Amino acid sequence: MAIKLKGTGRALPDRVVTNEELVALVDTSDEWIRERTGIGSRHVSTGETVADLAVAAAKKALEDAGATGDEVELILVASCSSEMALPCVACQVQSAIGAHKAVAFDLNAACSGFLFAMHTADAYMASGIYHNALVIGAEVLSKIVNWEDRGTCILFGDGAGAAYFAKDPESQTPLPYVQRSDGTKGQVLACGQHAHKNAFYEGEDNLQYVTMDGREVFRFATRQVPEAILELLGKTALEPDDIDCYVLHQANRRIIESIAKRLQVDIAKFPSNVERVGNTSSASIPILLDELRKEGRIKPGMKVVLSGFGAGLTYGACLLELS
Catalytic residue IDs: 111, 249, 279
- Tell me the C-alpha to C-alpha distance, in Å, between residue 126 and each of 139, 173, 310: 28, 7, 26
CA dist 203 and 105 (Å) reads: 30
SS (H, E, C) the chain: CCEEEEEEEEECCCCEEEHHHHCCCCCCCHHHHHHHHCCCEEECCCCCCHHHHHHHHHHHHHHHHCCCHHHCCEEEEECCCCCCCCCCHHHHHHHHHCCCCCEEEEECCHHHHHHHHHHHHHHHHHCCCCCEEEEEEEECHHHCCCCCCHHHHCCECCEEEEEEEEECCCCCCCCCEEEEECHHHHHHEECCCCCCCECCECCCCCCCCCEECHHHHHHHHHHHHHHHHHHHHHCCCCCHHHCCEEEECCCCHHHHHHHHHHHCCCHHHCCCCHHHHCECHHHHHHHHHHHHHHCCCCCCCCEEEEEEEECCCEEEEEEEECC
Residues 6 or more apart whose Cβ sits within 8 Å of residue 184: none
